Structure 1
Amino acid sequence: MASEDQNHAIHAASSSTSEEGPISNPWKPQGWRFWLILASLCLLVFVASLDGSIIIIALPLISRELNAAGNYIWIANSFLLAQTVIQPLCAQLCNIFGRRNPMLVSIAIFALGSGLAGGATTTSMMIAGRTIQGLGSGGILMLVELVICDLVPLRQRGTYLGMVMSGGAFGAILGPVVGGALATANWRWIFYMNLPICAVVLPAIAWLLRVQYTKEPTWMRALSRIDWIGSFIFIGSSCSILLGLVFGGSQYPWSSWRVILPLVLGFLGGVGFLFYEGSAFCKDPSVPLRIFNNRTSVAGFYIIFISSITLQWVCLMYPLYFQGVRWTTPLRSGVDFIPFQVFLIIISVVAGVLLTQFGSYRPLHFFGFALGMLGTGLNTTLSRHTSTPVWVVYQAICASGQALLTSTILPAIMASLSEEDVAAATGVYSFLRSFGWVWGLTLPGVIFNSRFDYSSSQISDTDARHLLQNGGAYEAAGSGYVKSFPPVVQDQVVDTYVDALRIVWIVAIALSATGMFVVFVEKHISLRQDLDTKFGLDTKGEKGDVNAELAQGDADRAESK
């Protein structure tokens, strides 16, 4: 196992400007292709994120039209499942076939899934369309960050990751609002609207994203490099875990063998996958174990997993607070949650700029978790009578904590790894982020339902108590159902909601505390200021291109020495 100090020394030796402190001789993109590619990436992330959140509002209407019955849960979850499991394999394909072709295929797959979902006449067709959409979305989200890593030196990546990921946050803001509007008019346009966007971005990426890579002499040689066995084990075990999480508490009790068996098999498969990847049988692993050989990368992977859980935690529980405690409509709760997304966008960009300017990621991670814990702790005081300015400030604090992490974790992971491992590390990073989102949707729901059932004894109306138990409280939020009870019972129900949410927020504080502890495991490593990649833009015959300018700058510095 290579030590982190050895890796650090290698990186320092390979970079002529790796000192700590404010950046000197900053890399500045000036090529027109760079900015057009960046704009295209922002649009792709916006569409992929919008599609992930837009269906929440329209799901009841879609389920009724397609007679989905109990299968409605798969209309939403098939997308997330497919998006999650495809990313490490996609990362390996990017090393074999370059970045451009996998990106084009991902966009085409996403467009195909959108068309199928928009034209769905049966539940099975809708689920198939959503699954295909998820495969395309997973590839897009991973590749966007990978392309940024190829185009921008490590020291500057936080700035551009913050800019691109802000498009995702903007999509999450508009998702519920646009979903509500389109569901009222024609829900099929929730999916059809992706087609003209993909029709614009696909040729733009084909034209702009011409990147260098080592092409295999034959297709057979290229296909032989794919980690078929490892990918099969990984996708199978990941799907098994995700199926257990989806089934648990919704279709089957958590104690059911239908939930326990997939979870156990999935975790055993995950262990088997790691053993296989490190064995002599795996010639070209999709997840090389060397990316886990130092404490900084391992800490970064844990931080992205935990921060993804807590991000979804907040995004799930705040609308529940608005709908279950303040009795707002689902659409109104989406509007009330806009302050969180706005601050997430702004502070993400600020965090990226700070990382670029000072090159230190540990303070940003520490204060990110500190603000997250503070905001979550303040959320425990939320009640029916909390004023609007107060919960807006609470949202701002929570969002600021999350934003300090959003654009700064991937550069921290890359600091201790070589550029050779950029694709594999980005694939694992993207997988853990999506995997964390699934846990962030599952855990708070389980805790909320369990605590609500425990505290529901204070509800004097027996019928109301029975209807709201076993997950009924979550489903009843925002429906106006509680308003049908006498005022005394209404107050009791709201108090039960408040008590259950308070416990949910307390558990979130504990999770964030583990992330803050892991920040101390990270080691400070100077972020490389030079761009050294085999997958940069192909600049033959072009003037003013980013990589050409960077190469010229390196030559000038060498000559001056």
Structure 2
Amino acid sequence: MGLFRPRVRPACRVEIDQESHLHHDADTVIETESETETLARTSSDSGIDTRSDCCPTPVHDDDKVKPPPPSYGSYLSKEKGVVISTIPLTSPECSSSSSLDSWDTEKEKATTPAGEWRRGAGFWRCFTAVCIPILLSAFEGSVVSTALPTISSSLSLGSNSSWVATSFLLASIVFQPLYGQLADICGRRPLMMAAVVIFGIGSAISGWANSSAVLISGRVIQGMGSGGIDLFAELILCDIIPLQKRGHYVAIKAAVYALGTTVGPLLGGVFATMNWRWCFGINIPICLVALILMWFWLQLNNGNPSRTWAELRCKVSQVDFLGITVLTASVIVLLVAFTTAGTITTWNSSSTVLLLVGGGLGIVGFAFWERSDRCLNPIMAPHVFSNRTTVAAFAITVIHGFITYGFQFYLPPFFQVILGSSPTQSGVLILPCTLTIVIMAALGGPLLARFGRYRLMHRVGFVLMGAGLLLCVVYESSTSTALWILFSFLVGIGSGIIVSTTLPTVLVQLTDKENAAATGSWAFLRGLGSLFGVAIPNAAFNAQFNAKLLNIHDESARHTLGFGQAYEHASAIFIESFHKPDIKDQIKDAFSSSLKVVWVIFLVMAALGATVTFLERHVALRKELDSDYGLLEKKRPVSPTEEV
């Protein structure tokens, strides 16, 4: 937390002298209402319009209409009538609109009283338009899991097979903090539509790929679009629904997402039997439908939109491109280390050690850069990490993504090798886990909205996940289908309880003005957990399998399965290609032993997650909504009594 302590920076290049009356406690910064008035008087007395562009314009005494004070991200607290304030909504450096124009905008926004939340037909149209791309993104993130052995065999991917999933996840997460900054510049709607277009282009490239390089490139483009879809969907829901009421709708969204992850493996098995290219081609018509719905139904305010290209360039120039570059490079270096260690190189080789050290130092350097005074607009803003509950919720998000995504990634090899299931059958056997996540996600959101006990829900979730994973470790060689359905059922219940509560917990001690920064960081960390939930267990799986190779008394089998190629051949068809029963048993034993190591890793992470929940504090969910990016309201005539 020390690396991410909040900083106070001037919001404009024009220096304004004012006495700070900020009162700090452990988690919030409290500012009295009189301070806002003092700031307005100071700005007016200085003769400078603090909302002007980089070249401030003087305000003369003859001007009859004075601009309102700068709009700060604040909301009314229930306690003692104070205003909890954070940072200016927009950077005055990049505001080129006139004072009178801004005042007119404030009058238009005043048609909807602050904090009042209404839900009509426009809300449901917007909500539906957001859910379709979410379903699409979730489906594509899981459809490849059961079809990957077939795809890998068709294109001869070899040890590159893990990059089909890893590249998608990597591209979907590394740009999400950057998307969070761009969302405050360009608004949510145009970027959401652009993300769907990018996703469709990546799907087309992947569907027509004839080599591993083209397929992985297409998956990278798909991931960029998927990451944007996930982030902008979360942002839109945060902008149109108050935190206290958000649980119901986050649950619906989570259920839609979980539905995609449920149907994905099932259809992946079907497409693997028919033609694996349909795993990607099916997305294109759905993208077109989603774009049409968003064009007509996704009607949102654009916050404080850029009015000129000069202002847009000014805002974009302040984006933390250096930070996103360092972060991306560091994550890639670490992934390469975990992917190649035990396959291409050994763990104690100089190249592996160099990659691990370099990636770790890059992450540390990124953290220092984000809190330095030279980083004007950090992609992972330090003030977002300013309280213990938010930091604990971020950690829980990483751990939950690690277990949930990784567990579902390694279930198909177990079902196909140990239980002898076909790709389609393995997709069906995953349903108890994924459907349970859907159901519990649908229940978890309303429970959070009703009782607000996110700490208890997190603890129960991790305990249930740990119980299921412990049974997986104990009965790792069992061929009882009923037992393994029970194990995955327990993991699914625990995961579903947590899935719809992590983001509200992150935001519970932050304001609505920090939605973009906090949600971008949350989405990145959730994806990072999912990414390493595949990469780290994959390294352990390969290391254990290589150690078991000598127990397989067939040279061709050892050659085929060694050096990181075991996951590629994790299918019942491959096992049945050997006629000797003892060779089949030896191969199954190697897979069972290697998967046991994977289950142990997930069990340790579940125990760690349960421990982290004790760092959370209980804070009541707020009922107010204060966002500049909510639903676009129809203008109504202003009566003479309402005019200023």
* Alignment-mate amino acid for residue 338 of structure 2: L
Distance 1:182 1:278, change over 3 A: same
Alignment of 1:495-534 (within 5 A): 495-534=589-628
Alignment of 1:142-153 (within 5 A): 142-153=231-242
Alignment of 1:164-203 (within 5 A): 164-203=253-292
SS of aligned partner of 2:612: helix
Bigger mean CA offset, 278-287 vs 352-361:
278-287
Distance 1:205 1:466, change over 3 A: closer
Query: 1:186, 1:462 → 2: CA distance?
Result: 32
For residues 37-79 of structure 1, give each alpha carbon's deviation from its aligned partner in whole angstroms, at most 9, with x where no partner exists.
2222222111112112223444455556656566555444332
Residue pair 1:81, 1:242 contacting (<8 A) in 2 also: no
Distance 1:478 1:67, change over 3 A: closer
Bigger mean CA offset, 139-148 vs 379-388:
379-388
SS of aligned partner of 1:442: helix
Aligned to 1:214: 304
Distance 1:143 1:255, change over 3 A: farther
Residue pair 2:159, 2:565 contacting (<8 A) in 1 also: no
Residue pair 2:272, 2:423 contacting (<8 A) in 1 also: no
Aligned to 1:442: 535
Q: CA deviation at 1:355?
A: 0.2
Aligned to 1:264: 357
Q: Does 1:274 find its partner at 2:336? A: no
Bigger mean CA offset, 411-420 vs 56-65:
56-65
Query: 1:157, 1:422 → 2: CA distance?
Result: 13
Query: 1:314, 1:123 → 2: CA distance?
Result: 25
Distance 1:152 1:383, change over 3 A: same
SS of aligned partner of 1:520: helix
Aligned to 2:168: 79
* Alignment-mate amino acid for residue 538 of structure 1: L
Q: CA deviation at 1:359?
A: 1.2
Structure 1 unaligned blocks of 5 or more: 19-25, 544-561
Query: 1:477, 1:62 → 2: CA distance?
Result: 12
Q: CA deviation at 1:467?
A: 5.7
Q: Does 1:289 find its partner at 2:382? A: yes
For residues 241-287 of structure 1, give each alpha carbon's deviation from its aligned partner in whole angstroms, at most 9, with x where no partner exists.
33333433444444444444333322222222222221121222222
Aligned to 1:6: 28
SS of aligned partner of 1:281: coil
Distance 1:13 1:141, change over 3 A: closer
Query: 2:603, 2:546 → 1: CA distance?
Result: 22
Residue pair 1:42, 1:165 contacting (<8 A) in 2 also: no
Q: Which residue of the other structure, out of 504, 518, 522, is the alignment partner of 1:411?
A: 504
Aligned to 2:411: 318
Bigger mean CA offset, 436-445 vs 497-506:
497-506
Residue pair 1:351, 1:403 contacting (<8 A) in 2 also: yes
Distance 1:508 1:9, change over 3 A: farther
* Alignment-mate amino acid for residue 189 of structure 1: W
Bigger mean CA offset, 264-273 vs 340-349:
264-273
Residue pair 2:444, 2:496 contacting (<8 A) in 1 also: yes
* Alignment-mate amino acid for residue 606 of structure 2: S
Q: CA deviation at 1:485?
A: 5.1
SS of aligned partner of 1:380: helix
Q: CA deviation at 1:288?
A: 1.1
Bigger mean CA offset, 495-504 vs 416-425:
495-504
Q: CA deviation at 1:454?
A: 4.3
Aligned to 2:632: 538
Bigger mean CA offset, 222-231 vs 469-478:
469-478
Which structure would you say has the larger RCO, counting Cα contacts within 8 Å and 6 or more residues apart? 1
> TM-score of the superposition, structure 2-length normalised?
0.76
Bigger mean CA offset, 111-120 vs 357-366:
111-120
Q: CA deviation at 1:228?
A: 2.4
Residue pair 1:368, 1:405 contacting (<8 A) in 2 also: yes
Task: Say what the alpha-carbon RMSD is for the aligned residues.
Answer: 3.0
* Alignment-mate amino acid for residue 137 of structure 1: S
For residues 453-504 of structure 1, give each alpha carbon's deviation from its aligned partner in whole angstroms, at most 9, with x where no partner exists.
4456665667756765554544443244444253344445444444443343
Bigger mean CA offset, 307-316 vs 265-274:
265-274
Q: Which residue of the other structure, out of 303, 306, 309, is the alignment partner of 2:399?
A: 306
For residues 112-153 of structure 1, give each alpha carbon's deviation from its aligned partner in whole angstroms, at most 9, with x where no partner exists.
222233344554443332221111111111111111111111
Aligned to 1:376: 469
Query: 1:136, 1:149 → 2: CA distance?
Result: 20
Bigger mean CA offset, 479-488 vs 65-74:
65-74
Residue pair 2:513, 2:626 contacting (<8 A) in 1 also: no
Aligned to 1:423: 516
Q: Does 1:48 find its partner at 2:137? A: yes
Q: CA deviation at 1:403?
A: 0.9
Query: 2:378, 2:273 → 1: CA distance?
Result: 48
Q: CA deviation at 1:413?
A: 0.8
Q: CA deviation at 1:17?
A: 9.8
Residue pair 1:305, 1:435 contacting (<8 A) in 2 also: yes
Matched positions, count? 536
Q: Which residue of the other structure, out of 573, 581, 585, is the alignment partner of 1:487?
A: 581
Residue pair 1:4, 1:416 contacting (<8 A) in 2 also: no
Query: 2:290, 2:378 → 1: CA distance?
Result: 32
Residue pair 2:337, 2:356 contacting (<8 A) in 1 also: yes
Q: CA deviation at 1:506?
A: 2.7
Query: 1:90, 1:12 → 2: CA distance?
Result: 23
> TM-score of the superposition, structure 1-length normalised?
0.87
Distance 1:531 1:319, change over 3 A: same
Residue pair 2:342, 2:543 contacting (<8 A) in 1 also: no
